[in-house]
Amino acid sequence: MRFGLACFVVGGVSALLGADLTRARELYQRTEYRQVLSMLQQSPQDPEMLLLAGKSAFMLGDFKKSTDLLERATTIDSGRSEYFHWLGKALGRRAETASFLTAPKLAVECRKAFERAVELNPSNVEALNDLFEYYLEAPGFLGGGLDKASEAAARIGKLDPVEQHYVSARLAEKRKDFNSAEQHLRRASELAPQQIGRIVDLAKFLSKHGQIAESEAVFAKADKVAPNNPKVMFERAQTYIEGKRNLDKAKQLLQQYLKANVTPDDPPKTEAEKMLRQVSGA
């Protein structure tokens, strides 16, 4: 009888936890990140709940809290690629804003987390992409380098032919072979004409390299493919701000973005708020 009661109790707890996770995932998809964090108190030792909370803190721009939560998730379950991938993302953002004394340590920890994510799941293209970017941008003494980036790009190419063109463009641009970079981005957008990200990648590259008229035409194409798409609003505003042009339009786009219904696949609204303050001179 006691054994049966114990099974009932365990089963009841599991059912409650499952319901909590389902609710937390729904809230996360609706970008209600603060509510996800409040739900963590109900299941503070469940790694999936910690993952959702860590991702929510990341989206809110609290990268220290995100790191702490995701480290707890990897300690409880050290076999999940996604946990280490998001830990690497949080550590990377912390490294970007850290002092020169702490940034190198955080950067190395970021790299190790990405490498562990890829080791656990070699087919995790998103983790491979972030590891590629780390290798591409980080100096050699922090474990970066073009040779490592090229190896990661080759692995990405075996998993995603379209993404192969994007990483090839990034490598070419790093080597200042801008013509090759442009051709790879054009090919990526041709292979995936409905993927807004591919069109935006090309538009941003063209703007960066002074081809303003064509960049505007490509952004217009993105608007036609996906009218009122939040990602296009954000990326176009960012392009204008980086190019120090059309700043009034950039403000308008950011204000639209902050009112739009976004998903976790879109840039966090905290980033849009930061850019709006920047362009407004606040």
pLDDT in tens, the chain (282 residues): 455 544 444 444 454 467 889 999 999 999 999 999 999 888 888 999 999 999 999 999 999 999 999 999 999 999 999 999 999 999 999 999 999 999 999 999 999 999 999 999 999 999 999 999 999 999 999 999 999 999 999 999 999 999 999 999 999 999 999 999 999 999 999 999 999 999 999 999 999 999 999 999 999 999 999 999 999 999 999 999 999 999 999 999 999 999 999 999 999 999 999 999 999 875
Q: Is residue 272 part of a domain?
A: yes
**How far apart are the C-alpha atoms of 121 and 82, rounded to whole Å?**
9
How many domains, the chain?
Answer: 1
Q: Is residue 201 part of a domain?
A: no
Q: Is residue 115 part of a domain?
A: no
Residue 109: CB atoms within 10 A of its CB come to: 19
**How far apart are the C-alpha atoms of 45 and 89, rounded to whole Å?**
21
Token digits of residue 138: 């980080």
Question: At residue 51, what are phi and psi to the nearest 5 degrees?
Answer: -60, -50
Coil, strand or helix: which one is 268? Answer: coil
Torsion sign across C-alpha atoms 49, 50, 56, 59: negative
Cβ neighbours of residue 223 closer than 8 Å, sequence gap 6 or more: 229, 232
Q: Is residue 276 part of a domain?
A: yes
Find, among 175, 131, 182, 138, the residue nearest to 154 by Cα.
Answer: 131
Q: Is residue 273 part of a domain?
A: yes
**How far apart are the C-alpha atoms of 141 and 102, rounded to whole Å?**
15
Coil, strand or helix: which one is 99? Answer: coil
Tell me if the pTM is above 0.85.
yes
Q: Is residue 217 part of a domain?
A: no
Q: Is residue 221 part of a domain?
A: no
Q: Is residue 269 part of a domain?
A: yes
**How far apart are the C-alpha atoms of 155 and 57, rounded to whole Å?**
31
CB 165 within 8 A of CB 141: no
Query: Residue 262 sits in which domain range?
Result: 228-282
